[in-house]
């Protein structure tokens, strides 16, 4: 039996190289071997105040980026979360088995809430909605970057609690799948913080998937490094900038540590390193931008694909949420 895979991405902010190397590239790579659900999680984006027009534009734009990046709707189910009502319903049902303390412990909640003037209830509840996403499809695997690992572990705890309260084996217990390389791409302007959508508007922070080749080269040229000239992988905090560039190169080329270091054995300093890294990045992501522009010219086709994806997702998610209701004691409509 094929493994079921579920993963999601928020439509707000600029999709960047970290999202690509930490998640999307791996979604594309294994889509033929497994049963895949890839979800544009617009309900999650609402947990931080959004401009409605921006959210609306970015949701469809992200769908086009994912298709341009190689997500094939004939091999997987690509859909918008709010198109499948079972997600919001599952979140409510799971809220009623999730202790508050589990949510208050989440590091992403703590990080994000200090940045908000007023913290919305949805932000605290974010991981429960995410648990619903995953559990509705009985996903075995959840391919994500390092920052989402804690949320997938919480999903396992929620599933186990539901199973022990109501019915052993009801939910499949999912596994986070974190890539060996690229799971935590750091900011180019500050290699001590992870590359993030919410900072991607800041000049030089990120390579955005829709940047043109010159912008990509400029951002990588400006990347913060150190005052040395040795090009090798390193865990030392002061060498984090060079390490990050090597990680990007390794994740894109698929080479081993030794092969990557050999590629740079004759490099003349960090200038050479940046030029070579920029070239592999441009080569791998420039085609995405070209295909994206093509797809935006066919909005009706994009909508058709998304409607088909939602339809496919509903055939799994709706009966599952109905079963949840039933075993929790709710009366289903006759």
110 is catalytic: no
Here's the x/- map for ligand TYM, 27-56, by CB under 6 A: it reads as --------------x--x------------
Establish whether 250 is a catalytic residue. Answer: no
- Catalytic pick from 112, 149, 221, 255? 112
How many residues does the structure list for the chain? 334
| Closest CB to ligand TYM among residues 77, 266 | 77
Question: Which H or E run contains 40?
Answer: strand 35-40
CA dihedral 230, 232, 233, 237 (to 10 degrees): 0
CA dihedral 16, 22, 23, 24 (to 10 degrees): 50
Q: Is 181 in the site for ligand TYM (CB under 6 A)?
A: no
Instruction: Please give the distance of CA 46 from its chain centroid, rounded to a whole number.
Output: 16
Q: How near is the Cβ of 59 to ligand TYM at its closest, in Å?
A: 12
CA distance 327 to 171: 12
Which of 133, 189, 211, 263 touches ligand TYM by CB under 6 A? 133
Q: Copy the structure tokens of residue 279.
A: 């070239």
Interacting residue with ligand TYM among 67, 142, 242, 321 (CB under 6 A) = 142
Q: Any catalytic annotation for residue 149?
A: no
Total residues at the site for ligand TYM (CB under 6 A)?
Answer: 25
Residue 29 tokens, joined: 């790579």
* Of the candidates 317, 328, 331, 321, the residue with the CA atom closest to the CA atom of residue 79: 317
**Window contacting ligand TYM (CB under 6 A); options: 17-25, 258-266, 292-300, 316-324:** 17-25
CA 187 to centroid of chain Cα atoms:
16
The residues that are catalytic are: 112, 194, 197
* Binding interface with ligand TYM (CB under 6 A): 6-10, 18-19, 22-23, 41, 44, 130, 133-134, 142, 144-145, 147-148, 151, 183-185, 194-195
């Amino acid at each position: 039996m094929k493994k079921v895979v579920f993963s999601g991405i928020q439509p707000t902010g600029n999709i960047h190289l970290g999202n690509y190397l930490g998640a999307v590239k791996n979604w594309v790579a294994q889509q033929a071997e497994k049963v895949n659900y890839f979800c544009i999680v617009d309900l999650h984006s609402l947990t931080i105040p959004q401009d409605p027009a921006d959210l609306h534009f970015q949701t469809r734009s992200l769908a086009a980026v994912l298709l341009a990046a190689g997500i094939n709707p004939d091999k997987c189910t690509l859909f918008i979360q709010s198109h499948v009502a079972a997600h919001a319903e599952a979140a409510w049902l799971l809220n009623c088995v999730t202790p508050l303390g589990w949510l208050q412990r989440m590091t992403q909640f703590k990080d994000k809430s200090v940045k908000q003037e007023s913290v919305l209830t949805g932000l605290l509840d974010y991981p429960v909605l995410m648990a619903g996403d995953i559990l509705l499809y009985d996903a075995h695997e959840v391919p994500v970057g390092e920052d989402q690992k804690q949320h997938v572990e919480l999903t396992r705890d929620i599933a186990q609690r539901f199973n022990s309260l109501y019915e052993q084996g009801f939910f499949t217990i999912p596994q986070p799948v974190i890539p060996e390389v690229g799971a935590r791409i750091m900011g180019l302007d500050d290699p001590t913080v992870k590359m993030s959508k919410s900072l991607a508007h800041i000049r030089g922070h990120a390579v955005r998937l829709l940047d043109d080749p010159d912008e990509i080269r400029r951002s990588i040229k400006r990347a913060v490094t150190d005052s040395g000239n040795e090009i090798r992988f390193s865990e030392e905090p002061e060498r984090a900038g060079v390490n990050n560039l090597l990680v990007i190169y390794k994740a894109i080329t698929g080479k081993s540590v030794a092969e990557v270091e050999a590629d740079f054995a004759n490099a003349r300093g960090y200038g050479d390193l940046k030029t070579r890294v920029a070239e592999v990045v441009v080569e791998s992501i420039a085609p995405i931008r070209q295909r994206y522009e093509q797809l935006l010219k066919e909005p009706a086709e994009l909508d058709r694909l998304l409607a088909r994806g939602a339809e496919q997702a509903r055939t799994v998610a709706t009966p599952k949420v109905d079963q949840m209701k039933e075993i929790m004691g709710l009366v289903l409509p006759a």
